[in-house]
Amino acid sequence: MKVDVLLGLQWGDEGKGKIVDVLTPDYDVIARFQGGPNAGHTIEFEGKKFILHTIPSGIFYPGKVNVIGNGVIVDPYILSLEIEKVRKQGFTVFDNLRISRKAHLILPSHRLLDAIYESAKGKDKIGSTLKGIGPTYTDKMGRNGLRIGDLHYADFYEKYEATKAGHLRIAASYDFDIAAVKIDGMSFAEYEQQWKDAIAVIKKIEHIDSEYFLNTMLQEGKKILAEGAQGSLLDIDFGSYPFVTSSNTTIAGVCSGLGIAPSNIGKVFGIVKAYCTRVGSGPFPTELSDDDGERMRRQGNEFGSTTGRPRRCGWLDIPALRYAVMLNGVTDIILTKADVLNNFETIKICTHYRKDDTSFDYMPFDITDIQPELIEVNGWQSDLNNRTWEQMPAAFTDYVRTIEQMSGVKISIISTGVDREQIVRKIENTLQ
Ligand code: GDP
Ligand code: IMO
Ligand code: MG
């Protein structure tokens, strides 16, 4: 058996949570491999809506194992709130959730540093979710981090205090009023208390050597789906640096974040919105500041799942998509939010970029000053629900085939709404 991977090919929020939930019945194990509570993965079914930040999106199916891998970073407070919300709705969590002993902990002082660094950047701020992501991964790489496995040692709080003291020394060198800072609406001391209280909940999750667990599962013929967070264009190496997150959101993150060998990777599902969004700062070549962008935001309810911020909207960007397909070895595209464009008379697609009178279709080192070159296609102007692929309007199937031809990858699933049931499987491979 191989590990199939599902990851975002744009700037995040492509609908990964919904699609993982839809695919979970086909798998035995769902495993998150990177990122932390900067992620917000939305799942809707039977009139219920959940936004998961750390728990893998397979948690709503009894009997499926959900693994938080070593590459994920965990805030005990946020994870404990998530667990409580899911349990309150009657779902089993502790029996179905495992966490890697090697996953790093986000400390309250990491969140403090995130706030300080962002504020020091002023107008150049990243637009971070302020969940402590950058400082925690920095400590991981700097070999100063604390891990889930450390919670079981008697000297955990000694190490905690030493790490925190180091952070506070850094904090003191900035012109920043720590007493005034709010972390999720709380003072630093209040947050720290909640964080410490939450450790008891985290200890109730089974802590495992997830690399052994997952490889044993594979040997036993079990099916594993790796769930990405963020999107390929936010990758620390390949994204629009420095406006990125601090992990490898691309396929490499599966190997380092779960202990899976490259030869054990199977299908790679790339999730793509029918248009583009970005939340936070950073260049966005196809961004729209007109009525079309506003319509996308309204129809697509494009407000951040983690921070509530309005998402920036723009046309589908083919050079960026081809770049993400190349980096990840995508075998199947899953197209989401097609319904958001239902009422558009015409739809644009960016096929090339232009800079200084030169047209090109690759992702350059700097994408700040490039202009999109757009083609226009007909909109379908009808509802896509309750139709099979064969019953879809011609303008829509043309749009899908255009994306397939331009990206070089078949689209095998189309999502037409927020609910688990709003899904169309496309068997026909129009590329062959
Ligand atoms: P993720 O981070 O990739 O899991 O995506 P988010 O959950 O942050 O954002 C995707 C948003 O779009 C959520 O509100 C989903 O409920 C919603 N969504 C997912 N698929 C579709 C779809 O096909 N159509 C519409 N209209 N909404 C969708
Ligand atoms: P999901 O998994 C969209 C963005 C932030 C910011 C930048 C760095 O829901 O798709 P960070 O908090 O990592 O320091 O923020 O990355 N960002 C996301 N944007 N979806 C996400 O996750 C994101 N996670 C981080 O807005 O621009
Ligand atoms: Mg999201």
Ligand 1 atom with minimal separation from the 271 CA = 3
Question: What is residue 432's predicted lDDT score, i.e. its pLDDT?
Answer: 66
Q: Is the CB of 39 under 6 A from ligand 2?
A: yes
**Given the structure tokens 């070895």, which residue do they identify?**
329
Question: What is residue 260's predicted lDDT score, i.e. its pLDDT?
Answer: 98
Angle at which helix 156-172 crosses helix 108-121, to 10 degrees, equals 20
Question: What is residue 401's predicted lDDT score, i.e. its pLDDT?
Answer: 97
Query: Which one-letter DSSP state was computed for residue 103?
Result: P
The DSSP element (H or E) to which 139 belongs, if any, is: helix 133-141
Distance (Å, rounded) from C-alpha 50 to C-alpha 86?
8
Rounded distance from Cα 364 to ligand 3 centre (Å): 26
Rounded distance from Cα 415 to ligand 1 centre (Å): 9
| Low-confidence residues of the chain: pLDDT under 50 | none
Express each pLDDT in 248-292 by its tens digit: 999 999 999 999 999 999 999 999 999 999 999 999 999 999 999
Question: What is residue 430's predicted lDDT score, i.e. its pLDDT?
Answer: 74
- Give the number of other Cβ atoms within 10 Å of residue 283's Cβ: 14
Closest residue by CA, ligand 1 atom 8: 13
Closest residue by CA, ligand 1 atom 28: 418
pTM of the predicted protein model:
0.97
Q: Is the CB of 139 under 6 A from ligand 1?
A: no
Express each pLDDT in 309-346 by its tens digit: 899 999 999 999 999 999 999 999 999 999 999 999 99
Q: Is the CB of 336 under 6 A from ligand 1?
A: yes
Question: What is residue 431's predicted lDDT score, i.e. its pLDDT?
Answer: 78
Which of 42, 39, 6 minimizes the C-alpha distance to 422? 42
| Catalytic residue ranges | 13, 41
Distance (Å, rounded) from C-alpha 297 to C-alpha 318?
20
How many residues in total does the chain contain? 432
Identify the three-state secondary structure at position 296.
helix
Rounded distance from Cα 230 to ligand 1 centre (Å): 13
Say if residues 339 and 345 touch (Cβ distance below 8 Å): no
Question: What is residue 20's predicted lDDT score, i.e. its pLDDT?
Answer: 98
